Structure 1
Amino acid sequence: MKSTTYSKYSKKLLFTTFNCAKSQLIPLQDMQGIHNDDLIMALTGLAGGILNNGSTCGVVIGGAISSAMIRDKELSGKWTLEDEIQLLSEIKEDVSWFEDRFGTSLCREREELNYQRITVLGLLNPQKAKGCVARSGASMDYFVEKYAAKNSPHPSLPLAKHPRKGAESGEGTVFPSPVSGRAPFEYFRARGEGSEHCAQKILGEIREKTGIGNEKLEQISVALDGGIGLTGGGCGALSGALMALGLKYALDPQKTEPKKLKNIYRSMDSEFFSMAKILVKNFIKEFEYFECSRITGTKFKDWAQFSQFRNSPSCDKLNNFLVKKTVEIINFKKAS
């Protein structure tokens, strides 16, 4: 299919899945010949800026997760820390493109929306749908072109490798090393440190305690580190917890009668949404914000800075809270 075909498909999915994140993931799965229903289900709670709360746009999240999914296919599931760092660099470039094109990657900052925690169906009313449709279509065109270039016989440099501003003065095009002359992944390997991720850690611990989840989902979720590719957007750990709930309790849009699905999204009233709303309400009560940069008070400039903060007591507190609360919600559901 041509770029325009995937773009049209992406736009159509907004009105059939009612989920902007899935509007990116599903066409890119088709384009790459990947079949992963778990990913589709897991993204249910990440639309509309994380459960329709106006944080990072679901189109951005769906694109980031898709990039990780495609990289996982290229690597045959055999990742190194170097691969993970390079992926985050690539996603950071993708988010920069989106922000340059549309002014912001946060739903609530869209002037035409007057975003007040409205539902996805509210986003997709005739007056407000244009912005969502434009973002979904343009993003899909961007990714189709990006991966077509990568797969061509004479590809241009991947977007993540394009020189950044300041490269002329000798600055690196990827993340700067914490030790002069040494690549970031070599630095952490030399110190004996493993990769400490946001959503991946949450998903792994929830799986250990409940049996919900799988290693493939955990690996792909590294895309959400540091607020989506270290950009300071929606909290990756919270997104990971919502992914676990979505994987188990969300309705499959491809197997659900459209009218029923539309009514569920209108009221946000289903098994999954009831559980997810409890989790998000408790998270905001405890940490106040959705965005990584606001929760941490910093916007990570590189992997080294992120990794140091990721192992801090404040992140440990957030991790423990999310795992405990998510497991409580799941166990309560099982007992009811």
Structure 2
Amino acid sequence: MSIKPDEAYATFISGFSCSAAVLSSFAEELGLDKETAYKIACGFGSGLSRTDNICGAVSGAIMVIGLKYGKVTPKDNAARDKTQMLVQQFLREFAKKNSSVNCTDLLGYNLGNPEEYAMARDKKLFVTKCPALVRDATEILEKLL
């Protein structure tokens, strides 16, 4: 049994973004140190920096897939195709489990709106809902990789 979901959960709870928590839990095995993973993923949390977009845990997972399988030469379309297929599969599985991949849909609040952000914070969604999404993303990733 893997510890990655627990590691991602603990990283998120410690104060890193959902995207950083997911990416960093796979970083070292993919040749990326954790500090660099935290930096790369920093702007992807909270629905792409509170812009009413894709969930940061989902963004972190997509980065992991890209690091593992992504295209590194212009003509390596097989790598591109595999990456896109795995991203699509991840998105389907995450949405099936959580009803969406969009941060606003998942939380019920648009974090880009200061009043809605405050409501989400007051309802403690960042300590109740978001950690579960981080864990879900990590668990789905492990099955796909």
* Shared fold, TM over 0.5: yes
Question: Between the two proteins, what is the percent identity of the paired residues?
Answer: 10
- Structure ID, larger Rg: 1
Q: Which residue of 1 aligns with 2:81?
A: 85
Aligned length in residues: 139
Alpha-carbon distance change, 90 to 114 in structure 1, aligned in 2, over 3 angstroms? same
Alpha-carbon distance change, 118 to 25 in structure 1, aligned in 2, over 3 angstroms? farther
Within the alignment, does 1:15 sit opposite 2:10 as a pair?
no
Q: Which residue of 1 aligns with 2:96?
A: 100
The answer (yes or no) to whether the contact 1:22–1:62 under 8 Å persists in 2 is: yes
- The one-letter amino acid paired with 2:112 is R
* SS of structure 1 residue aligned to 2:79: helix
CA drift at 1:116: 4.2
The answer (yes or no) to whether the contact 2:19–2:61 under 8 Å persists in 1 is: yes
Structure 1 gap ranges (5+): 148-336
* SS of structure 1 residue aligned to 2:46: coil
Report the aligned-residue RMSD: 2.6
Q: Which residue of 2 aligns with 1:62?
A: 60
Alignment of 1:107-146 (within 5 A): 107-110=103-106, 112-117=107-112, 127-128=124-125, 129-146=127-144
In structure 2, distance between residues paired with 1:83 and 1:33: 16
* SS of structure 2 residue aligned to 1:51: helix
CA deviations on 1:204-235 (whole Å, 9 max, x unpaired) are xxxxxxxxxxxxxxxxxxxxxxxxxxxxxxxx
* SS of structure 2 residue aligned to 1:21: helix
The answer (yes or no) to whether the contact 2:16–2:38 under 8 Å persists in 1 is: no
Alpha-carbon distance change, 118 to 10 in structure 1, aligned in 2, over 3 angstroms? farther
User: TM-score, length-normalised on structure 2?
Assistant: 0.80
In structure 1, distance between residues paired with 2:96 and 2:121: 23
In structure 1, distance between residues paired with 2:138 and 2:121: 18
CA deviations on 1:18-42 (whole Å, 9 max, x unpaired) are 3111111001113x25224444312
* SS of structure 1 residue aligned to 2:142: helix
- The one-letter amino acid paired with 1:14 is F
* Highest RCO, 1 vs 2 (Cα 8 Å, sep ≥ 6): 2
CA drift at 1:78: 4.7
User: TM-score, length-normalised on structure 1?
Assistant: 0.37
- The one-letter amino acid paired with 1:105 is V
Higher-helix-fraction structure: 2
Alpha-carbon distance change, 116 to 43 in structure 1, aligned in 2, over 3 angstroms? closer
